[in-house]
Amino acid sequence: MVLVEELRALGVEPSARVFRGVRFEADLATAYRLHLSLRTASRIQRVVTEGEAPGLEAMSELAMAVDWTQWLRAHRPYRVQPVVPEGRDGEALARVVAEAVSARFAGQAGPRYDADHDYPVTIVAHWREGKLTLGLDTAGRALHKRGWRVNGHPAVLKETLAAAILLLAGYDGTEPLLDPMCGSGTIAIEAAYIALGKAPLIHRGKDDFGLEHHQGFDRALWRQVSDEVRAEKRDTLAAPIFARDLRPDFVDLARKGALRARVEKFITWAPGAIEALDPPAAGGLLVANLPYGERIGRGEVERLYAGVGHALRQRYAGWRAALLVPADAPVHLLDLDRPVGHRLKNGSLDVRLLLTRDASG
């Protein structure tokens, strides 16, 4: 799991795998750093309490035992987000948690329950197999929302998935990188962040993280950690990054995103079809998120896959490739030599990442 590797690189050893995530303990400064620096996590939660709770009464007891005044601030709106298996009553769970919060603040100014409030303050009530975990969503807005995206492309990758692809491919910024189908530029922009050692969430605005709204938030420590993380960024690349797309309007869009992400000058941009594109360097890593059949016809997809495979074999000897394709894509037409495959999810879509040693096969 690439997230585990990321945590380890930041000095944190996960203690367990949990449903769609990992559990870890860290001191406050490290926890703050993770919010700014993790590239592939979409959420971070601080566990408040957990225990066996087979029924609603036990859930209520568990929630009532928490001193919510230690976690939530007066007057702030908050919501409770139940996460339960299908068919279970999430509303009832949210209600008992909200009642427990009100009971704990009885007689003093408390936080304001607002079910429609999206973020920043969310109590996540996760019930699974008779066990309840109550946690605070410390990220607030999902972490793939880096803050730089410009809308206008119909098939963007989540930033966290783009980062995961790059890390799975072993990209560390020391070899040239080319995304010949850059679309809105997600892969190239995330690559620039990795290559510069730049934290992906460093440009988020003040008060944008959930943790900034929780009781006990240490603003001075947060500032100190943010300054340290910011200072770690390098000013130059060790190897160039190239981004191309068939459509000049997408190249323009990607540049705009990169400008907002403050890495535009580190990427070389140009329009052009991959079939006609000469390699911009003798070797490196070619990463592409191939178009999906939903938006273009099957015949066109097949022509494209055959064309990409041909281009890689003919002109990209010396390049490794990392290709993200739908699970049902005609990968045989790419004719790659024994690629290593990883099964991933792109939203709800099953996809595969195919990694080759070098793109010539």
Ligand X SMILES: C[S@@+](CC[C@H](N)C(=O)[O-])C[C@H]1O[C@@H](n2cnc3c(N)ncnc32)[C@H](O)[C@@H]1O
Least distance CB 31 / ligand X (angstroms): 29
What span, in angstroms and rounded, lies between the C-alpha atoms of 6 and 35? Answer: 12
CB 138 within 8 A of CB 33: no
Least distance CB 119 / ligand X (angstroms): 24
What span, in angstroms and rounded, lies between the C-alpha atoms of 313 and 305? Answer: 12
| Residue placing its CB nearer to ligand X in the complex, 31 or 354 | 354
What span, in angstroms and rounded, lies between the C-alpha atoms of 210 and 139? Answer: 5
The one-letter code for the residue type at 104 is R
**Position with the least CB separation from ligand X:** 183
Query: Which one among 110, 140, 210, 291 touches ligand X, defined by CB under 6 A?
Result: 291
Query: Which one among 94, 139, 192, 246 touches ligand X, defined by CB under 6 A?
Result: 246
- Mark the segment that binds ligand X (CB under 6 A) among 81-89, 106-114, 267-275, 329-337: 267-275
Residues near 292 by beta carbon (within 8 Å), at least 6 away in sequence: 155, 301, 326, 349
Residues in 80-99 that interact with ligand X by CB under 6 A:
none
133 binds ligand X, rule: CB under 6 A? no
117 binds ligand X, rule: CB under 6 A? no
CA distances to 6, 15, 124, 289, 345 from 161, rounded to whole Å, are: 14, 23, 23, 11, 8
| Residue placing its CB nearer to ligand X in the complex, 134 or 261 | 261
SS (HEC) of 131-168? EEEEEEECCCCCCCCCCCCCCCCCCCCCHHHHHHHHHH
Residues in 293-312 that interact with ligand X by CB under 6 A:
304
- Mark the segment that binds ligand X (CB under 6 A) among 3-11, 63-71, 148-156, 226-234: 148-156
Least distance CB 335 / ligand X (angstroms): 17
Radius of gyration of the chain (CA): 23
Residues near 142 by beta carbon (within 8 Å), at least 6 away in sequence: 42, 43
Residues in 174-213 that interact with ligand X by CB under 6 A:
180-181, 183-184, 186-187
What span, in angstroms and rounded, lies between the C-alpha atoms of 182 and 173? Answer: 17
Query: Which one among 6, 190, 245, 264 touches ligand X, defined by CB under 6 A?
Result: 245
| Residue placing its CB nearer to ligand X in the complex, 9 or 270 | 270
What span, in angstroms and rounded, lies between the C-alpha atoms of 338 and 355? Answer: 9
What span, in angstroms and rounded, lies between the C-alpha atoms of 210 and 136? Answer: 8
What span, in angstroms and rounded, lies between the C-alpha atoms of 273 and 117? Answer: 45
Least distance CB 153 / ligand X (angstroms): 5
269 binds ligand X, rule: CB under 6 A? no
Least distance CB 319 / ligand X (angstroms): 16
333 binds ligand X, rule: CB under 6 A? no
Least distance CB 250 / ligand X (angstroms): 5
Query: Which one among 1, 74, 155, 238 touches ligand X, defined by CB under 6 A?
Result: 155
| Residue placing its CB nearer to ligand X in the complex, 61 or 275 | 275
| Residue placing its CB nearer to ligand X in the complex, 250 or 266 | 250
Q: What dihedral do alpha carbons 63, 67, 69, 75 form, nearest 10°?
A: 10
| Residue placing its CB nearer to ligand X in the complex, 157 or 178 | 157
CB 318 within 8 A of CB 283: yes
Least distance CB 179 / ligand X (angstroms): 7
3 state SS of 345? strand
The contact set with ligand X (CB under 6 A) reads 153, 155-157, 180-181, 183-184, 186-187, 245-247, 250, 273-275, 289, 291, 304
